[in-house]
Amino acid sequence: MKVIIFGATGMVGRGVLRECLLDARVSGVLTVGRSATGLAHPKLREIVHTGLPDLAPIEAELAGYDACFFCLGVSSAGMSEKDYRHLTYDYAVAAGSTLARLNPGSAFVYVSGAGTDAGGRAMWSRVKGETENALLAMDLRAYMFRPGYIQPLYGVTSRTRLYRLGYVVTRPLYPVLRRMFPAAVTTTEQIGKAMIAVAAGGAPGRVLGPADINAL
């Protein structure tokens, strides 16, 4: 299976990339982002593209893939709805519609988050919900991952400074969190493995919370 990862330099994307490089079912990985991961691996190819969300200049390189793991995203903290919508909806929909045209029926896993709801009151939740709905309507095997708390493993760190600081505090608490809230907690490793499982064999539903992700 050949996969494309958007956001491979981030916390979630980096964890997903690690699992893809380790998994024998994945024969090739293409990362697309405004910066490179800097990793070298025989299965890995990177495209640094600063013109996102416009994929037209690199479109020829995106054909022939079986799955896309879309891990690019930003925190809505301090952002206007217009800017957040652009970085969330426009980026994901541009990737989804391009890949639906180039690789119809391929798997597309989008990372939204627990609490995502197109009819919700919170701005981020509505925008992510609308993004999910747009992707689910495309000619893709689209799956929405809605993790809650994610424990980064194997040295993976968040690109968001506030979250990096938060993880310093929560890291020692993770074993307790996992025991107390098993249905709300997942790890970068479990997310990566679940994405590969979904792309390879499908899932019981199109919208998957932390417990579904861990089960996969």
Cα–Cα distance measured from residue 121 to residue 206, given in angstroms and rounded to the nearest whole number: 23
Q: How far is the CB of 147 from ligand NAP (least distance, A)?
A: 4
Name 16's Cβ contacts closer than 8 Å, sequence gap at least 6: 5, 8, 69, 71, 188, 191, 192, 195
Which of 3, 11, 62, 185 binds ligand NAP (CB under 6 A)? It is: 11
Query: Which of 203, 164, 184, 182 is closest to 67 using CA atoms?
Result: 203
Closest to ligand NAP by CB, 126 vs 159, is 159
Of the candidate spans 22-30, 157-165, 168-176, 199-207, the one that interacts with ligand NAP by CB under 6 A turns out to be 157-165
Q: Which residue has the tokens 């970068």?
A: 188
Check binding of 159 to ligand NAP (CB under 6 A).
yes
Residue selected from 47, 74, 138, 197 as contacting ligand NAP according to rule CB under 6 A: 74
Of 5, 68, 73, 203, which lies in the binding site for ligand NAP, with binding defined by CB under 6 A?
Answer: 73
**71 counts as binding ligand NAP under rule CB under 6 A:** yes
- What secondary structure, in 3-state letters, does 81-113 show? HHHHHHHHHHHHHHHHHHHHHHCCCCEEEEECC
Q: Which stretch binds ligand NAP (CB under 6 A): 71-79, 101-109, 131-139, 203-211?
A: 71-79
Give the span between the Cα atoms of 161 and 2, in whole angstroms.
32
Binding site for ligand NAP (CB under 6 A): 7, 9-13, 33-35, 52, 71-74, 87, 111, 113, 147, 150, 158-160, 163
